[in-house]
């Protein structure tokens, strides 16, 4: 069964460093998302991406964050200058073979720890 | 501010009994509703989707939706220890953004 994959599974970085989290969405999906979950808190929407541009973004997704689909398979989240409060689990999701409002399937997540 | 309210639990249910999970949401334009299961340290895993008012059954799971009351629920029949997890109510807004609830922790007692 097709699934969303994410790399790395864990990432430790120093405050102020740049990190890139990578995702491979399900191959025929058209819509891509990033969510995050701070330990003990709820899953929060960061950004959605369709047709090579951002569709929606939350207040969390400030200028330090960017997303890119550099090729036909990868979808990346970059945090330019990490802060302690960026420590969280980051989930990629994908959906939509024929339109919007379809089920979003989540990857296994990348656990980011900022020291 | 769009909100999703769930009882945080823990909800303790004996093995073999029915677990009932409830959720209310504030965004009236939500049309699609999902229940995800999340084990500790893992990603959300889709359990059920429901789009129309009424009941939808899939194996041991039944989702119920009442858009007028802005209420969605999940019933788990014949609860198993492997059902112990956090269940996330997830309405999907018109902007395709899922607003997750904090989740209900379910504990199935062997």
**Which tens digits make up the pLDDT trace of B10-19?**
999 999 999 9
**Does position B97 have pLDDT exceeding 90, yes or no?**
no
Mean pLDDT, residues A46-59 taken together? 92
CA-based nearest residue in chain A for residue B86: A42
Q: Which residues of B48-64 are buried (b: 16+ CB within 10 A; e: fewer)?
A: bbbeeeeeeeeeebbbb
Q: Which of residues 16-55 of A touch B (CB under 8 A)?
A: 31, 33, 35, 41-45, 48, 55
The HSE-up count of residue A40 (CA atoms within 13 Å, CB side) is 0
d(CA A56, CA B102): 22
Q: How confident is the model at residue A98 (pLDDT cuts 50, 70, 90)?
A: low
pLDDT in tens, B17-60: 999 999 999 887 878 899 999 999 999 999 999 988 999 999 99
**Does position A99 have pLDDT exceeding 60, yes or no?**
no
Question: Cβ of B100 and A101 within 8 Å?
Answer: no
Percent of chain A beyond pLDDT 90?
Answer: 81
**Cα–Cα nearest to A95, from A46, A50, A35, A37:** A50
Q: How confident is the model at residue A97 (pLDDT cuts 50, 70, 90)?
A: low
d(CA A51, CA B29): 24
Contacts of A102 (CB under 8 A, 6+ apart): A31, A95, A96, B32
CA distance A90 to chain B (A): 9
Closest CB to B44: pick one of A48, A55, A106.
Answer: A106
Which of A5, A23, A42, A102 to substitute to test the interface with B, most B CBs within 10 Å?
Answer: A42
Percent of chain B beyond pLDDT 70?
Answer: 98
Note whether A115 and A87 are within 8 A (CB): no
| Tokens 């379910």 found at | B106
Give the 3-state secondary structure of residue B43: coil
**Does position A100 have pLDDT exceeding 70, yes or no?**
no
Q: What is the pLDDT of residue B99?
A: 87
Note whether B86 and B105 are within 8 A (CB): yes
Rounded to the nearest integer, the mean pLDDT of chain A is 93
**Cα–Cα nearest to A115, from A13, A42, A35, A30:** A13
């Amino acid at each position: 069964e097709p699934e969303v994959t994410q790399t790395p599974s864990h990432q430790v970085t120093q405050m102020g460093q740049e990190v890139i989290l990578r995702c491979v969405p399900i191959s025929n999906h058209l819509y891509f998302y990033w969510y995050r979950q701070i330990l003990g808190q709820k899953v929060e929407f960061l950004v959605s991406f369709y047709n090579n541009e951002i569709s929606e973004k939350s207040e969390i997704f400030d200028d330090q964050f960017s997303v890119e689909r550099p090729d036909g398979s990868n979808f990346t989240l970059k945090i330019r200058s990490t802060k302690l409060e960026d420590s969280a689990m980051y989930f990629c999701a994908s959906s939509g073979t024929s339109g919007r409002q379809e089920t979003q399937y989540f990857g296994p997540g990348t656990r980011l720890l900022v020291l | 501010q769009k909100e999703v309210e769930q009882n945080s639990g823990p909800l303790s249910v004996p093995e073999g009994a029915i677990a009932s999970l409830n959720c209310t949401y504030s965004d009236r334009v939500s049309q699609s509703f999902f229940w995800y299961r999340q084990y500790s340290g893992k990603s959300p895993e889709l359990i059920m989707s429901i789009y129309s008012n009424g009941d939808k059954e899939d194996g041991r799971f039944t989702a119920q939706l009442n858009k007028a009351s802005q209420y969605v629920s999940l019933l788990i029949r014949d609860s198993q220890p492997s059902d112990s997890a956090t269940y996330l109510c997830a309405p999907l807004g018109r902007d395709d953004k899922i607003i997750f609830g904090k989740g209900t922790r379910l504990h199935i007692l062997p």
